[in-house]
Chains A and B, each alone.
Chain A
Amino acid sequence: MLDELKELWRFRELLLTMVERELRVRYKNSALGFLWSFIIPLTTMAVLTFVFGYLQDNGMRSFSAYILAAYLPYLFFQQSIMDSSQSVLQYMPLVKKIYFPREILPLAVILGNFVHLLFGFVVFFVYLLVVWLINRGESPFQPTTVLLPVLFFISFILSTGIGLFVAALNTFYEDVKYLTSVALYLLFFLSPITYMSEQVAYSRINIKSGGLIYNIYNLNPIAVLSTAYRQILLAPQGIPVNGVKQVPIMLDPKYLIWTLFLGLATLFGGYHLFNRMKWRFVERP
């Protein structure tokens, strides 16, 4: 694995070029070009604000910000993995003609998506600022925001690990991409993105099980990350459960450590599998 990493380092210029290309090609034939990177989080934010502020007012202040804080990282995870699954196949003509470390292909799309995640958070912070300037209440910015890079790191290694895994497998078995898209779709509902993880903790089934359900629920790394992003970026507030406001629950660090461990394991596992399979890509039937 060390040799592979050295080789990757030798080709770092190529990786940077590929990321640049990734960012440029995406909107190449569109009039608004790079602005699309901002338009997606912006429109998401606008629709969320309208729906959860007016159509379905659940009693939480600026609930749309709580959704976006969890949705942006989920979007990064989902897009990275879906783009990775196609990355090698998309560049097959290149792979068959020129040598370069093949892992650059999935890595470039993942890094490209990471840049989009950063843009998304720029929109997020601008939104917080604008809302604050209009309402002039307490500052919405939390000191724990400095922990954001830690969460970015965990999100990144998790996406990269799974991305490498899926990229290698999908090159041979194209069903993998459909399986993955279904899994990611279901994961969206199994993670606290459009609802709060406290609602799971306060659910009748969890209380009856003595907290077991909540523990199992948090085995899902995206569930843990969604809650973690939300809690470091936004102020805690009371959670409405069956019409009663319940106190917020801070995320137990053990879940985060589990997620970090899972991220590292998938990163090493995914990279190992990719390296084992990458020489056979060109011999694909």
Chain B
Amino acid sequence: MSEAAIEVRELYKEFRIKDASIGSLKTLLMWWKKRSVFEVKVLRGISFSVLPGECVAVIGKNGAGKSTLLSLLAKIYRPTSGTVSIQGRLAPLLELGAGFHPDLSGIENIQFNAVVLGLTRKQVAERTQQIIEFSELGDHIYAPVRTYSSGMTARLGFSIAVHVDANVLLVDEVLSVGDYLFEQKCLAKVAEIRAAGGAILLVSHNLETIRMFADRCLWLERGVMRMEGPASEVIPAYLASDSESATASQIRAAP
């Protein structure tokens, strides 16, 4: 098990931000009008790896580049430079349920999303029942997703993501959406996947969850790795670095 499940090397990501809000042909036609284009360097040379069976947490203040990092891992962005390699199948749990079509029923969305995540349609048919049971949505599964509450949507999204045999999970603040019981069930499922050799990258502001689950912690600050190590070392340093950052959310998270 020496092969890393996630291997990130010298990752850079820049965004070019233009002042025009929505592109139109007008902005193309008015080429002589200078537009202020500025570059935002979100990630500046990040390197790390996650081994199979390992759970690594990413912490950092808003704007540190955590979400961009997850999006790069999920292949939603292409890196400006550097490489990202993933061994096996990846299931991103980025803001659950965003890939649902509001007019289709829950069950139809299951069929679609599971295929996006890499199952064949035959496999999806076999697992649909399991997914419905895990989500505890009952008869709501036949109702259009637009009628769901945010908690229900998150349940469905999570159920799909953990049933696609992914060995790399990207988890972005999603466990907080469901109620307490469902959260416990999710964490148990994540632990199960991890025990089977799955790698998990977790982004959370809930430091208590991180303390409980993460083997290692990556602390991002303005696009660079400020510190990497066991959660028990990184979290106190993170808290101490900026006492103002110990806002309500972290106080709430403390035991």
A residues at B contact (CB < 8 Å): 13-14, 16-18, 21, 24-25, 28-29, 93-100, 172-176, 179, 279, 282-285
Contact = CB atoms under 8 A, between A and B. Distances in A.
B21 A93 contact: no
Contacts of B71: 282
B112 A25 contact: no
Given A28-B104, A173-B24, A285-B18, A97 B92 contact: yes
A21 B74 contact: no
Interface string B17-49: 110111111111000000000000000000000
B78 A174 contact: no
Contacts, number: 80
Contact of A100 (B108, B116, B119): B116
Contact of A94 (B17, B20, B77, B99): B99
Interface in B63-109: 71, 74-78, 92, 94-95, 98-99, 101, 103-104, 108
A259 B13 CA distance: 43
Contacts of B99: 93-94, 97-98
18 contacts: A13-B115, A14-B116, A17-B111, A21-B101, A21-B112, A28-B103, A96-B98, A97-B95, A97-B99, A98-B117, A173-B24, A174-B22, A175-B26, A179-B25, A279-B77, A283-B15, A285-B21, A285-B23
- How many of chain B's residues touch chain A, expressed as a range? 35 or more
Contacts of A28: 103-104
Given A28-B104, A97-B95, A99-B76, A175 B121 contact: no
Given A16-B121, A94-B98, A29 B24 contact: no
A98 B97 CA distance: 11
Task: Among B17, B95, B116, B117, find the residue whose CB has the most chain A CB atoms closer than 10 A.
Answer: B116
A98 B112 contact: no
B36 to A, nearest CB: 13
B17 A285 contact: yes
Contacts of A16: 121
Contacts of B92: 97-99
A123 to B, nearest CB: 27
Given A14-B115, A17-B115, A97-B99, A173 B28 contact: yes
Contacts of B77: 279, 282-283
